[in-house]
């Protein structure tokens, strides 16, 4: 019995060391920046808009599965000018790894640095975000999956908070001929939980 416990303790120790080594080595060996073009192509396919990830993509593995992005820009809708619809100077999103195994999502505080959001309405009343909310013409609606193959719902969902620093919001209503903006906006939201 004593030998079994010792073997089990050694096995657990080896697994812990391998896990720590993987958490330290994987982010240095696997470069997430190679997926930049795929991400941009997927966004273009789904929205018809250009996505530019100008900054580096960094990531971590344990105990948080995290992604850190530099500058990211999403192009504006056609007919709304060259200024991007949205731009973020930097972004951090982290999810606890172990709760994912229980189908629970526990995120730390989501941080957005230097968010610039350019909302507009043209003279005909069309907004520059409505194409993001509707399906493309000619696109086939997604078929409903049978109950046995449908994704299982999350057991729990929690975000530690949302922090937006140095944001700029612009509302350009060309139909009314008015333009308003809010600059140097800081927003901090507390924890968000759902079941």
Alpha-carbon dihedral of residues 13, 18, 22, 23, nearest 10 degrees? 0
What are the backbone angles phi and psi of residue 97, rounded to the nearest 5°? -75, -50
Peptide bond into 10 cis (omega under 30): no
pTM of the model: 0.71
Buried b (16+ CB within 10 A) or exposed e, 14-51: eeeeeeeeeeeeebeeeeeeeebeeeeeebeeebebeb
Dump pLDDT digits (tens) for 92-102. Answer: 988 887 787 78
Dump pLDDT digits (tens) for 175-188. Answer: 999 999 999 999 99
Strands 116-121 and 156-173: parallel
């Amino acid at each position: 019995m004593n030998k079994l416990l010792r073997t089990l303790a050694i096995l657990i120790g080896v697994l812990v060391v391998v896990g720590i080594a993987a958490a330290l080595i994987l982010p240095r060996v696997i470069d997430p920046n190679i997926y930049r073009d795929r991400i941009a192509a997927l966004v273009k396919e789904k929205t018809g808009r250009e996505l530019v990830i100008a900054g580096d993509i960094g990531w971590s593995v344990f105990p948080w599965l995290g992604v850190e992005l530099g500058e990211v820009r999403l192009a504006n809708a056609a007919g709304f000018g060259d200024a991007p619809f949205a731009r973020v100077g930097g972004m951090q999103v982290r999810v606890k790894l172990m709760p994912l195994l229980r189908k629970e999502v526990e995120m730390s505080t989501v941080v957005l640095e230097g968010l610039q959001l350019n909302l507009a309405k043209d003279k005909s009343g069309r907004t520059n975000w409505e194409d993001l909310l509707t399906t493309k013409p000619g696109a086939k609606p997604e078929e409903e999956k049978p109950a046995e193959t449908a994704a299982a719902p999350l057991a729990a969902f929690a975000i530690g908070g949302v922090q937006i620093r140095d944001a700029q919001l612009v509302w350009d209503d060309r139909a009314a001929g008015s333009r308003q903006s809010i600059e140097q906006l800081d927003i901090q939201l507390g924890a968000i939980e759902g079941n």
